[in-house]
Structure 1
Amino acid sequence: MHSHPSSQTHGAAAPAAPTHAAAPAAVDPALLEEIHRRVLWLSTSIIHHANRVRPNLSGLKVGGHQASCASIASIMTALWFTTLTRDDRVSVKPHAGPVWHAITYLLGELDEEHLTTLRQYGGLQSYPSRTKDPVPADYSTGSVGIGATAPIWGAVARRYVDSVLRPVGSGRQYSLVGDAELDEGAIWEAVIDPEVKHLGEIVWIVDLNRQSLDRVVPDIAAGRIEAMFDAAGWQVLPVKFGALLEELFTRPGGPALRSRILSMPNPEYQRLLRCTPQELRDRLPGDGPEDDAGALRGLIAALDDDTLTAAIRNLGGHDIPTLLDAFARIDDTRPTVIIAYTIKGYGLPSSGHPQNHSALISQEEYEEFAVQSGQDPATPWTRFAPDSAEGRAVAAAAQRLTRPGFSPAPEPELLQDLGRPHRGTSSSQAALGRVLMDLSRQSPDTARRVVTVSPDVSSTTNLGGWVNKVGAWSASQAPNWFADDKETILHWNESPQGQHMELGIAETNLVGLLGELGATWSRWGEPLYPIGVMYDPFVNRALEPWTFGMYAGGQSILVGTPSGVTLAPEGGAHQSITTPSTGIEVPGLLAYEPAFAQDVEWTLLHAISHLGRPGGMSSYLRLSTRGIDQDRAAVPTDPAARMRRRDQVVAGGYLLQAAEDPAVTLVGMGAMMPEVLDAADRLNEQGVGADVVCVTSPGQLFRALQSVRRPEQRAQHAWILDQVFPTSRARPMVTVLDGHPHSLSFLATINRVEHVALGVSAFGQSGDVPDVHRHHGIDADSIVRSALDAARR
């Protein structure tokens, strides 16, 4: 995604930026405070019940974060019951999940029976979840930084669907972020992305409570945080003080009070929250200039104990009128961050305690809190009476937030085979671009839903032809200043109708965007087929956020290319070793490492067929730049035999070459197939028959092996083992891949045969392909030697 000067916009009109619906009728702040008290009570009780009431059979701490919930309960109450519309989406900070559950309970979406099930098997999840909670969250959170940035990519996905497929509404995209989460570098990669500054629907609310897990943060540097957002083009709205403090600042001695609070270290301020009124009177003036200290003593001397105690806690993040004023000032023409000063544990006995992050209030404290809240601890799950003022306010919010359903779009007919004859010498990476081009010609309805994403590597990963054909997506039209340059090969035509998105070198952003593009089918009934392309050595860098996106229901395809030590001249810094095991170890992931162009076509089409649907799956394709003679694929010409090969390819592998009397089985994958085939030819010349198996997916074969023990799955998966590794042809086995050898080692257990595992288990180095393969022992000579040794044993 590239930005561009708005003054250069021309051509077709871009879709209008989302506009926020008119604010609902004002709600009395005193009424909202009563709702806030109930939200805080319910969220605290949800955690209390899970830890203090529900039987604990294992004896392990259940957990929950009462203090973290308390710091943001005011913000969430003000947001849900005054400002949110049905078109808005909210990413709730992970530790505030119980607050969100309390609000959905009051709104009538969550049944009472669920309130006692936090962190219980089948119950409310530890953190908000789109796929596992009884009321699906807008965004899954829990992995630091990912939930915060997800609404940015959700906004892009919505705009993309709106401009490429059909209008699906508008609305703001909110992120409720804990201040400690801003330590995550991926957040800033997203904030400074050039396109983000044009997304006016983005609103972040930072819960600035100045505490982390273990301590009070010595220097939260709020001013620096504000400056960083401002430099990225965001609107910055600090919400520091509530109405009481602001009024005190206007009195004699008020400027000294303001200066004292703003200048004191965070730990000192936190300590004041734990002071008695007399201790406050002694400590608050400090040891600054006597004039300031004297004026401050005069101001606080005129305050009674209750007012003084309330004043030191009167931060903007807990003052509902102040919050509502900030919400009213949101500028929908650019992203906004509201930095709300809060107190961790606000309203609880643990308020401000430096170690209250995971602390639980005691039973005695809970009963005292019940008295303060006007609740009965024996029957904690009370809603407001429908005819009360609070009940009417809650009912009005529930009606306002009711969302319309979206009918699923008609599914395009998905092809299994494009019928292209793959000839000559070609790499699997080059095949990727050709398959996309063929798809656009033969199945335009399918291709229209394909959106590719890359981190500034489109041309070097063979997407150039595709990008030239479909154009790059941008929120508004932009000129291509090199359109008339005859020497320019890659044409960067940006418009709201483009189908390729490019980010900077930020793999976390890329997979975050993939996850949201892959969730449009469940949000708006419009499936997309997102395909992300990055250098394979960086897949592991992106794996955690991509995996979390899959957990949250995002379905996408990630292509890692080029890969392995076969990328010989690049050296060890750009040679991936462990990525082949990804397909085995990531839940619910299809992973392929095709050797031949025909295998690329079949596996990519198969991966697309699993996207954008209930029960769908994501896929990972590991490709190579190494050219391979495509005739060696020996693709059958008979239509029935061709489709049988296709079925085997997508199921995990096929018998590529069968010896008349095999003495050994050579199993290869991906770019190593030339060496495997050469070794087989040499063995056959020596009278040592060698079967050759081409593996396309270790993950699929592992699933098949696991299914042998599960009768209900055997018919679905295990057939591939019977065809590729039949017991009648069980022989000593040599496995070879351009990656860690353990990825294929399990294959020897299918028929319990002798096994030699060849692969890469050390960092690579530069050289020609033969030199590097010889160095790692995966060249044809090494394969032959290993096969002879295995056959003799």
Structure 2
Amino acid sequence: MTPIRTHPSPPAGAAADRGPLLQATSASGNGPADELTVLESLERRTLWLATAMIDHANRGRPNRSGLKVGGHQASSASMVSIMTALWFGRLTAEDRVSVKPHASPVLHAINYLLGWLDPSYLTRLREYGGLQSYPSRTKDPDPVDYSTGSVGIGATAPIWGAVAGRYVDDRTGTRRRGRQYSLVGDAELDEGAVWEAVLDPATAELGEVVWIVDLNRQSLDRVVPDIAVGRLQQMFDAAGWQVLTVKYGRKLQALIDLPGGDALERRIDEMPNPEYQRLLRCDAGELRRRLPGIGAGADAVETVIAGIDDATLVEAIRDLGGHDLPAVLDAFDRIDDTRPTVVFAYTVKGYGLASAGHPQNHSNLLTSEQLRDLAVRTGADPADPWAAFPEDSAEGRHCAAVAARLARPPLVPSAPPVVPTDLGRTPNGRASTQQALGRTLLDLSRSAPDVAARVVTVAPDVASSTNLGGWLNKAGTWSSTAKRDWFADDAETLLRWSERPTGQHIELGIAEVNLVGLLGELGATWSRWGYPLFPIGVVYDPFVGRALEPWSFGMYAGGQSILVGTPSGVTLGPEGGAHQSVTTPSIGLEQPGCVAFEPAFALEAEWCLLDGLSRLGREGGNSTYLRLSTRRVDQSLARIPTEAAARERRRRQVLAGGYRLRTTPGARVAIVAMGAMVTEAVAAADRLAAGGHHVDVVVATSPDRLMRAQRARDGLEPGDSWILDQMFPQRRPQALVTVLDGHPHTLAFLAAHTGGRGIRTLGVTRFGESGDLPDLYAAHGIDTDHVVRAALDLLDRPE
């Protein structure tokens, strides 16, 4: 994993309070510089750098492939004022900021001005090894607090970062004072993930969360006709948020304050978004014709603007609050830290550019002439486009002061405790891998309490149905403040919700996106706060697909966690087709940053869980996906070796991807089973043996690791391939029958190990329905009869 960049360390005695940051003098050295003048100068240079970076990526760098490089000059421009005010005016070292994806060039420009980005990277936007298209904690060379890029997910990440920070605080006895900012594009508010996070009851308690909405009223394709800002404000207010609005800049407000200006204000407030956007593209003459409109106040509006010169009128109509530095700073100063806050900042997409307000400016590039004009207006030198401010200038001194203030102490992550590899239990009787999950956590709390203390479980209202009840009763539910359990004295209540700061389970509402969003941030505490956690999330397996994008994005951002999908497959039986997962086994096979297991027996589930825990909370670690079943399987079928070395050999094989359960001399066919289907595989082998046909039985515990072993053998990636030789020895190639409660293509790649003797892949390829297991397995062709027939088909083939 690429190291996560952190801010440089502060000098001794660096300030940590929140407030105006200006500590510079004027360039002439004659006294204090005016803060606003300096901030406006920084704003102009930031706009230039962000725009020039995108231009160079598209025009200055050779394009060997001929493909569009892309970039978002207009989307960046709408955020420049807000980000200038935040970074150079109010941000502290303890704050964290999630920057909307298309404003990444602004973030890099600011980091450059603060001395945190080497100037050579300004010419490497969207280049391999250079600056990423969107902010990335793990791939960008400069400090990035949150990875963004998947719309809506980056916006909500600071909510879960705040929860994770509070959880760590309760473990370490510290109290962080920083805010968690999200710079959100208004189109992101269309995403359901946003409202799932906003409406979770726990969010209303997070006073450190601040969202700043870049309200430019444009999407990728057009001006949004009915954005209904008032409704959005009411929704945040109903969720318990403080709602602040920054609508008019000083120049526009000056017109509104003139006699009769209330009619102008009503006219602007009431006109549709597209009409207002069209005004931004008008010269003064057309603006005087269009702006009054035809309503009752038209004459009053015409009178107000009649006495205004053309240049002032054109500037004023574009002067929205999100571009007025004093207005933005004032909004920051009015934030109420006792509840979450959202700031609606009205902006113009492309503000300061020739493309300002154009409905198709999302990916538009300025022409060379327009770029030269921008250089003149921002005081930049096209011949030296990457010039920083002189160190002895007011701007240079201010940048140095801000850099000192925002510098963070060096992060020294503590090493996570060593996870045991085997807890020594050998299950017997009939048990499911889902039951093994809860049992392993309880055993861990007894045999390795230091490891169990780092475990935090998360569930979207399915803790009891995924077998976490015993763990929950023992570990307690986490809450930043202790709460009374009103059912503590009810003898018939078996599941105890003891909410306290020392609890280790977090229960969310029924929203899988929230679950994995929180998992990602709990799994990043080792790199964000230096305190590693072992987060485990449980979710019904069919809903892994719903949670996949944000969980994948969390892994991309450096979050390490364990996701348990259970119950799984058509084995759910009577619960019906809506709860029967089909594609999830291959999801685990294909997901980067993650190791996927589907154990067949309870002890295998324990080994896989412990293996997953051992890879969390550390540099180079990764995540784990466990697909578990509610089907109770005869544990004696596992034939767990009693001799210590043989048991350890089996454990290593399970974690490497699988093992040979039964080997028969001369067997021409092997049945490869995954998960709960081992029962059918063994039964089929027994029936075939009774008919004189000897077959082997092989258990695949991780198609993911088997595929990686195969790629390693082919020289396509680093790693070991020894497990393939033990599961599919080349000295005795066999035809294969693969069977799993999921899509059959998951194991189809094993055809490479048959020596050309053939393969039959059995699995589930269509939606299920309610029923008992014999009927469902027969309907999907994964019952014992189908396994026997597939093996006989292969046995009938000539050598």
**What TM-score does the superposition give when structure 2 sets the normalisation length?**
0.95
Structure 1 pair 66–214 and aligned structure 2 pair: CA distance change class (3 A): same
User: How many Å separate the matches in 2 of 1:58 and 1:676?
Assistant: 50
Q: How many residues align?
A: 770
1:470-489 alignment runs, 5 A limit: 470-489=475-494
Deviations 1:666-690 (A, max 9, x none): 1001010111000011111111111
Structure 1 pair 25–120 and aligned structure 2 pair: CA distance change class (3 A): closer
1:10-409 alignment runs, 5 A limit: 21-25=17-21, 28-167=35-174, 169-289=176-296, 292-409=297-414
Matched-pair contact (CA < 8 Å) for 2:415–2:618: no
- 1:782 maps onto 2:786 in alignment: yes
Aligned letter for 2:106?
V
User: How many Å separate the matches in 2 of 1:711 and 1:280?
Assistant: 63
Structure 1 residue aligned with 2:633: 628
Name which of 773, 791, 796 aligns with 1:792. 796
1:585-604 alignment runs, 5 A limit: 585-604=590-609
Note the C-alpha offset of 1:246.
Answer: 2.0
Note the C-alpha offset of 1:164.
Answer: 2.1
Aligned letter for 1:455?
P
Deviations 1:633-658 (A, max 9, x none): 11000000000000000000011111
Structure 1 residue aligned with 2:556: 551
User: How many Å separate the matches in 2 of 1:165 and 1:78?
Assistant: 33
Deviations 1:296-322 (A, max 9, x none): 111111111111111101110000011
Name which of 744, 748, 753 aligns with 2:751. 748
Name which of 716, 733, 736 aligns with 2:736. 733
User: How many Å separate the matches in 1 of 2:65 and 2:790?
Assistant: 50
Deviations 1:59-101 (A, max 9, x none): 1111100000000100000000011000000000000000000
Deviations 1:538-585 (A, max 9, x none): 001111111111111100000000000111111211100010112221
Matched-pair contact (CA < 8 Å) for 1:559–1:623: yes
Paired residue secondary structure (1:717)? coil
Note the C-alpha offset of 1:25.
Answer: 4.2
Deviates more, 1:129-138 or 1:644-653: 129-138
Note the C-alpha offset of 1:228.
Answer: 0.5
Note the C-alpha offset of 1:169.
Answer: 3.2
- 1:568 maps onto 2:573 in alignment: yes
Note the C-alpha offset of 1:729.
Answer: 2.8
User: How many Å separate the matches in 1 of 2:256 and 2:788?
Assistant: 85
Deviates more, 1:154-163 or 1:385-394: 385-394
Note the C-alpha offset of 1:711.
Answer: 8.5
1:428-577 alignment runs, 5 A limit: 428-577=433-582
User: How many Å separate the matches in 1 of 2:274 and 2:424?
Assistant: 69
Structure 2 residue aligned with 1:657: 662
Matched-pair contact (CA < 8 Å) for 1:663–1:688: no
User: How many Å separate the matches in 2 of 1:672 and 1:97?
Assistant: 48
Structure 1 pair 418–542 and aligned structure 2 pair: CA distance change class (3 A): same
Aligned letter for 1:770?
P
Matched-pair contact (CA < 8 Å) for 1:129–1:137: yes
Aligned letter for 2:19?
A
Note the C-alpha offset of 1:247.
Answer: 2.5
Q: Alignment RMSD, CA only? A: 1.2
- Structure 1, unaligned stretches of length 5 or more? 1-19
Note the C-alpha offset of 1:105.
Answer: 0.2
Matched-pair contact (CA < 8 Å) for 1:453–1:502: yes
**What TM-score does the superposition give when structure 1 sets the normalisation length?**
0.96
Name which of 768, 775, 779 aligns with 2:772. 768
Q: Identity percentage over the alignment?
A: 65
Deviations 1:461-517 (A, max 9, x none): 000000000101112110000000000000000011110011111001100000000
Matched-pair contact (CA < 8 Å) for 1:664–1:688: no
Matched-pair contact (CA < 8 Å) for 1:161–1:168: no
User: How many Å separate the matches in 2 of 1:298 and 1:583?
Assistant: 67
Matched-pair contact (CA < 8 Å) for 1:107–1:397: yes
Matched-pair contact (CA < 8 Å) for 1:52–1:363: no
Deviations 1:214-245 (A, max 9, x none): 11111111101100100000000011001222
Deviates more, 1:530-539 or 1:245-254: 245-254
Structure 1 pair 169–405 and aligned structure 2 pair: CA distance change class (3 A): farther
Matched-pair contact (CA < 8 Å) for 1:128–1:141: yes
Note the C-alpha offset of 1:251.
Answer: 1.4
Paired residue secondary structure (2:79)? helix
Structure 1 residue aligned with 2:27: none
User: How many Å separate the matches in 2 of 1:168 and 1:689?
Assistant: 66
Deviates more, 1:389-398 or 1:159-168: 159-168
